[in-house]
């Protein structure tokens, strides 16, 4: 399992800001009034459904994401599919279905071959049978009020993808460059590769483009260079401040967040003036930006803290990496059957008979150990919480209801 595969754009680490207040609306500079940021479902709603499947995109639509994000790549017979990684290994059962075809790159397989793969079971058995979708299938589920944000992910592995993408979008009537009621674009195309963006632009000149950078806000000179032909830049609010956002705005660029998951990060993005908030949990981002409580199923238990690097082996007996749950109430709360999920969808469960006392803590460990009332050990043999950059840990109740999200970075 790739520990960092869900992290999205790499974040250049710096001092973390802590803002716990509910987000303030971002300024609408043109109209002189304040509006909420656009909410982008990064890979759909991958905190709760297998990333970049139709199940994930349908969840994001249900949760009123303004934009669906996905990564486009070409199969060997030049069909456009949605998949984040260069290979099919992490998010499908390709290693079992095609054991002899390592390293299982997307471009090694025809669409018919890829369609045999299960793209849901790795996330959870109730998603068995989900498939890697084609772009056409995504276009068939998206409604007219929702924008698309498509990344030209690995142009070297998908030669010609930009022109083919423009052609499919043209055929679907999606290249008029329209701005939707939410403030999102009908389609926005982004990439870390400026050449492939220019290639796309040649065939779909009205579609808005954005350049993906690496967390920190670019310098003024780079922003000025992008302002001529792109509409925005990406950054992460943990390594920017409101002044950075203003610098981009001053050049006429919008600021799009790299994925932000926990309530604190969503609020940071909004309070700094980001125009678009990208999240692996668009429902939570929407609730926060609407001024509602972040979690409909909140029951008073929160993820208090994480210990991703205990020193020594991450899965060592008794002292493995762990997550601390806290009961914020004055009554006991049962957490049996609940589980924790990280960004790469590794799971830690909580066994039967676990009740967190009023105001008390429960440590949930990855590795083996002796269970006791304030500690539960999963007995796994390898650690997975991210030690070197950051991660998001989400806490679900026994019925798969989302109760809390905690994002952290490792400075
Ligand atoms: O932050 C924008 C997003 O498209 C980049 O995410 O996960 O494809 O690296 P990712
Ligand atoms: Ca992406």
Using the 3D structure, point to which of 247, 267, 289 is the last residue of a domain. Answer: 289
Task: Kindly give the distance from the C-alpha atom of residue 278 to the centroid of ligand 1, in angstroms, as a whole number.
Answer: 9
Tell me the C-alpha distance between 63 and 67, whole Å.
Answer: 11
Tell me the C-alpha distance between 294 and 272, whole Å.
Answer: 19
Question: Residue 44: inside a domain, yes or no?
Answer: yes
Question: Residue 71: inside a domain, yes or no?
Answer: yes
In terms of Cβ atoms closer than 10 Å to its own Cβ (0-12, 13-18, 19+), residue 95 is: middle
Q: What is the pLDDT of residue 24?
A: 41
Same domain, 168 and 249: yes
Q: What is the pLDDT of residue 213?
A: 86
Same domain, 78 and 124: yes
Question: Residue 1: inside a domain, yes or no?
Answer: no
Same domain, 181 and 127: yes
Q: Which domain holds residue 161?
A: 38-289
Across the chain, which has 411 residues, the per-10-residue mean pLDDT values are 37 29 43 72 97 98 97 98 97 98 97 98 96 98 97 92 98 97 97 96 98 91 96 95 98 96 96 98 96 96 96 97 98 98 94 98 98 98 93 95 92 68
Task: Kindly give the distance from the C-alpha atom of residue 85 to the centroid of ligand 1, in angstroms, as a whole number.
Answer: 11
Q: What is the pLDDT of residue 410?
A: 78
Q: Are 248 and 233 in contact (CB under 8 A)?
A: yes
85 ligand 1 Cβ < 6 A: no
DSSP state of 105: B
Using the 3D structure, point to which of 289, 310, 337 is the last residue of a domain. Answer: 289
In DSSP terms, 402 is beta-bridged to 396
Q: What is the pLDDT of residue 304?
A: 97
Instruction: Single out the residue of 365, 241, 227, 279 nearest to residue 38, CA to CA.
Output: 279
> How many domains does the chain contain in total?
2
Closest listed ligand to the CA of 72: 2
Question: Residue 26: inside a domain, yes or no?
Answer: no
Question: Residue 2: inside a domain, yes or no?
Answer: no
Same domain, 318 and 397: yes
Residue in 216, 259, 277, 285 to alter for ligand 1 test, most ligand atoms within 8 A of Cβ: 259
């Amino acid at each position: 399992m790739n520990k960092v595969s869900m992290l999205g754009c790499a974040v250049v680490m710096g001092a973390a800001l802590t803002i716990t207040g509910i987000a303030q609306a971002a300024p609408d500079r043109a109209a002189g009034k304040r509006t909420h940021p656009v909410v982008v479902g990064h890979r759909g709603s991958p905190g709760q459904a297998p990333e970049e499947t139709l199940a994930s995109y349908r969840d994001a639509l249900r949760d009123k994401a303004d934009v669906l994000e996905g990564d486009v790549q070409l199969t060997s017979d030049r069909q456009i599919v949605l998949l984040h990684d260069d290979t099919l290994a992490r998010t499908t059962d390709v290693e079992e279905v095609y054991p002899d075809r390592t390293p299982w790159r997307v471009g090694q397989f025809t669409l018919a071959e890829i369609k045999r793969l299960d793209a849901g079971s790795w996330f959870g058995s109730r998603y068995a049978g989900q498939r890697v979708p084609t772009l056409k299938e995504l276009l068939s589920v998206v409604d007219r009020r929702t924008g698309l944000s498509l990344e030209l992910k690995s142009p070297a592995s998908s030669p010609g993808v930009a022109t083919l993408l423009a052609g499919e979008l043209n055929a679907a009537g999606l290249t008029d460059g329209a701005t939707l009621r939410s403030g999102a674009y009908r389609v926005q195309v982004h990439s870390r590769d400026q050449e492939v963006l220019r290639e796309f632009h040649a065939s779909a000149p009205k579609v808005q483009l954005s350049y993906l950078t690496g967390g920190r806000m670019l310098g003024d000179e780079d922003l000025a260079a992008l302002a001529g032909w792109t509409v925005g830049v990406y950054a992460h609010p943990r390594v920017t401040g409101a002044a950075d956002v203003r610098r981009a705005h001053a050049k006429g660029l919008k600021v799009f967040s790299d994925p932000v998951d926990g309530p604190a990060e969503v609020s940071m993005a909004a309070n700094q003036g980001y125009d678009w908030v990208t999240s692996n949990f668009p429902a939570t981002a929407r609730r926060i930006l609407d001024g509602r409580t972040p979690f409909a199923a909140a029951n008073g238990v929160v993820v208090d803290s994480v210990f991703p690097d205990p020193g020594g082996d991450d899965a060592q007996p008794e002292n493995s990496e762990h997550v601390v749950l806290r009961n914020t109430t004055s009554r006991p709360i049962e957490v049996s059957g609940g589980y924790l999920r990280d960004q790469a969808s590794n799971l830690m469960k909580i066994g039967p008979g676990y009740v967190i006392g009023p105001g008390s803590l429960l440590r949930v460990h990855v590795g083996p150990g002796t269970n006791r009332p304030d500690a539960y050990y999963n007995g796994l043999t390898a650690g997975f919480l991210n030690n070197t950059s950051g991660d998001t840990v989400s806490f679900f109740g026994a019925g798969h209801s989302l109760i809390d999200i905690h994002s952290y970075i490792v400075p």
